[in-house]
C-alpha cells in the first residue's frame, strides 16, 4: 500500500505543472504615455528597466516590472525647446520628481486568462506610494516563442501625489486644468 501511494505521488508530481519565469525583452518592449488637459493632450515614451512574469500553465502567478522614470520623453511637440521644457517639467518635483524617485514599479499578483485576453491585478508604486491596480491585456505570439502582451493601464496621478494642475487639489484652474488620469499603452515582450 505504501509503495502504491509513493508511486501515485511520483506520477502526479512528475506531471504537475511547474512555474515558468519569462524575462522582459527591454529592447522590444515599450510604453507610450498620454496625458490630457483642457483643450489638448501630450504623449511620449518611457522605458522599461527590467521585468518578468511567472506562469503556471496559462495562469500568471506573479511578476514585476521596473520603469526608468528618467527616460520620460515627448513625441508630439516638434519644437526642441518647448519639448525640452515639457520633459523637464514632467521630471521635476511638480510631477514625477525623478531625481528622488528614479523608478516606478509594478508588482503583478495574478493574471487570469479568458481566450487570448488576460485580466491582471497588482500594485503600482510611483514616488514611493503604492496603490492597487487592475488592467487587461491581450496575449499574442511573438518571434521565437516569445509571449507578447499589449494593453493599457490607466493611472490616477492624484493617488501618487502628482498634484500639478489637478482639479482635486486646486480650484479655478480653468484652461490650465490637467486631467488626473493618464494612460500607459504597453507592449510587453517576454522571452524564455
Written as tens digits, the pLDDT of the chain (192 aa) is 555 555 555 555 544 568 899 999 999 999 999 999 888 999 999 999 999 999 998 899 999 999 999 999 999 999 999 999 999 999 999 989 999 999 999 999 999 999 989 999 999 999 999 999 999 999 998 888 899 999 999 999 999 998 766 656 666 655 666 778 899 999 999 998
CA distances to 10, 57, 74, 163, 184 from 181, in Å: 52, 34, 17, 12, 10
Best CA proximity match to 112, nearest among 67, 50, 53: 53
In whole angstroms, what is the distance from residue 177 CA to residue 82 CA?
Answer: 19
For residue 47 the three cell numbers come to 522605458
Instruction: Give residue 86's region: left, alpha or beta (phi > 0; psi -120 to 50).
Output: alpha
* Amino acid 96: pLDDT: 94
C-alpha cell at 12: 502526479
Give the burial string for 72-110 (b: 16+ CB within 10 Å, else e).
bebeebeeeeebeebbeebbeeebbbbeebbebbbebee
* CA of residue 127 relative to chain centroid, distance: 15
- Distance, in Å, from the CA atom of 56 to the CA atom of 52, rounded to the nearest integer, reads 13
Residue 12: which residues within 8 A CB-CB, separation 6 or more? none
Domains of the chain and any CATH numbers:
16-191 (2.40.128.110)
d(CA 125, CA 136): 18
Amino acid at each position: 500500500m505504501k509503495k502504491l501511494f509513493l508511486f501515485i505521488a511520483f506520477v502526479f508530481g512528475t506531471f504537475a505543472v511547474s512555474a515558468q519565469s519569462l524575462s522582459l525583452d527591454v529592447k522590444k518592449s515599450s510604453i507610450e504615455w498620454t496625458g490630457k488637459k483642457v483643450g489638448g493632450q501630450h504623449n511620449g515614451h518611457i522605458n522599461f528597466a527590467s521585468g518578468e512574469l511567472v506562469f503556471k500553465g496559462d495562469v500568471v502567478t506573479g511578476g514585476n516590472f521596473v520603469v526608468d522614470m528618467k527616460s520620460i520623453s515627448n513625441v508630439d511637440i516638434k519644437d526642441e525647446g518647448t519639448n525640452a521644457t515639457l520633459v523637464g517639467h514632467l521630471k521635476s518635483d511638480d510631477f514625477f520628481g525623478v531625481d528622488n524617485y528614479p523608478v516606478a514599479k509594478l508588482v503583478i499578483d495574478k493574471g487570469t486568462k479568458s481566450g487570448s485576453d488576460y485580466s491582471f491585478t497588482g500594485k503600482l508604486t510611483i514616488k514611493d506610494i503604492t496603490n492597487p491596480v487592475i488592467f487587461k491585456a491581450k496575449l499574442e505570439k511573438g518571434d521565437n516563442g516569445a509571449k507578447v502582451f499589449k494593453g493599457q493601464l490607466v493611472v490616477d496621478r492624484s493617488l501618487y501625489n502628482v498634484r500639478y494642475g489637478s482639479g482635486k487639489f486646486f480650484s479655478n484652474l480653468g484652461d490650465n486644468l490637467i486631467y488626473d488620469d493618464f494612460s500607459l499603452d504597453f507592449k510587453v515582450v517576454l522571452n524564455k
